[in-house]
Homo-oligomer: A and B are copies of this chain.
């Protein structure tokens, strides 16, 4: 018979994170860009005090365990307080992506039964447009002080955050409850159908946040200052708002200013050592830094995910700026990071280009997560680095279902990701494509991502996207979209010749479209569905 261990039985709760930081790292800075411009600066001890005040305020508004609180907000200190106050009270923190269409926002706020919605002033016009359609929301709370709170035309129940919390006691007895209780809710911005909600448990968030601090993952410690560019409205900002106070790292929140110049200035001023974000943000940052001949004085590591980071960008960070890129993979359904790469001392002896090629892959699954790739019949494919199949994932912080969803998405206990991947014998996973983006041609598959990365290797290319377009003979053929770098005049023959030297002949796109810009969605990914709609039939 199994013998029960004799250890204290205490739940892993999010309230424990902020109280840990207040007790152990009470004087450590949290720096936050206000939506109206200035930098705000306080400590984890202050954050705990105000989180408790907010918890009391929400209780006074009639909310209780299980109530949902929405947010439409940037990465800032009030949003951070809400993370702790809402989840710590046993309520559900529902972060809304402000880049969703208004009708989708209305849908998710109603679907989540949000009783209060917190919003930054930037999104007042959005609130104006949706408030009338969200009858369950008792109060729209403007994340600002009295001077900067905006009235929202036609919306009566707008409260000022600072006024709301000021009246309340800074003592609050965080409730004890099952660590499997829902803590945060985030909807996937699906391209078809309604968004689907993922309800993260306290346990999942705490375990992911702890794992994210590991030196082989994001590496957060009392020696670090971390700036999450990845938004707090998108899969918990990869749990950095929880991980930094666990580790005692200084936390810098950039508010609405995500352009290269603002980010670089903030990184330098606050001596940021670690950052995290999607590739498109780093593209803007590096362009700014290069144009102005700047450096990174303190930044040592950046974690990149959300979409594939081109090897050219990785090389620039490593060779020109001495910044180590850690390439990760995760999705809304995986709480935050599920796999990540970390060069070993042996890797670091390889020629730079080989190192960058390793970094460009999505790395190994973290402890607590398992991955496998399967063929179309669900059979597990070998870990040989070449067998491509759908990536399946299971583990501590992987979704088992969707909020109020009826059908389980799981296949034999595994979550099917919709990504096409390979896994090497050593465990390194590489995303080859989305199942819906992979180009099926003449019975073979072409990875749109590999083609895009190859095109991004050309110095005149700022952005690239590849879609499969129906073809009378080959089923589908690749079509390449290029945004040239400013001032460059790259032509079709030149880029196709460049690609011919780098990919198999039958991978070379059938045509190239030069565009001024590409449609990028709320999570920093090119919206290929839109391109497919627009270019459907061009090869017919």
Contacts and interface: CB of A to CB of B under 8 A. Distances in A.
A394 B5 CA distance: 16
A27 interface: yes
A23 interface: yes
Interface in A198-215: 198-204, 210-211, 213-215
B180 A9 contact: yes
A111 to B, nearest CB: 13
Interface string A168-201: 0000000001101111000000000000001111
A251 B49 CA distance: 43
Given A7-B180, A7-B335, A92-B3, A214 B213 contact: yes
A467 B129 CA distance: 76
Interface residues of A, number: 77
A25 interface: yes
Contact of A180 (B5, B222, B224, B427): B5
B223 A214 contact: no
A397 interface: yes
Interface in A19-49: 20, 23-27
A222 B6 contact: no
- Interface SS of chain A: helix, strand, loop or mixed? loop
B427 A247 contact: no
Contact of A400 (B8, B12, B17, B399): B8
B396 A221 contact: no
Given A365-B24, A367-B16, A395-B10, A199 B400 contact: no
A247 B395 contact: no
A215 B4 CA distance: 31
Interface of A: 1-10, 12, 16-17, 20, 23-27, 65-66, 90, 92, 177-178, 180-183, 198-204, 210-211, 213-216, 219-224, 246-248, 271, 335, 342-345, 364-365, 367-368, 370, 394-403, 413, 415, 425-427
Closest 10 CB pairs of A and B: A5-B201, A215-B221, A216-B221, A24-B427, A3-B182, A5-B182, A24-B364, A7-B204, A215-B215, A6-B199
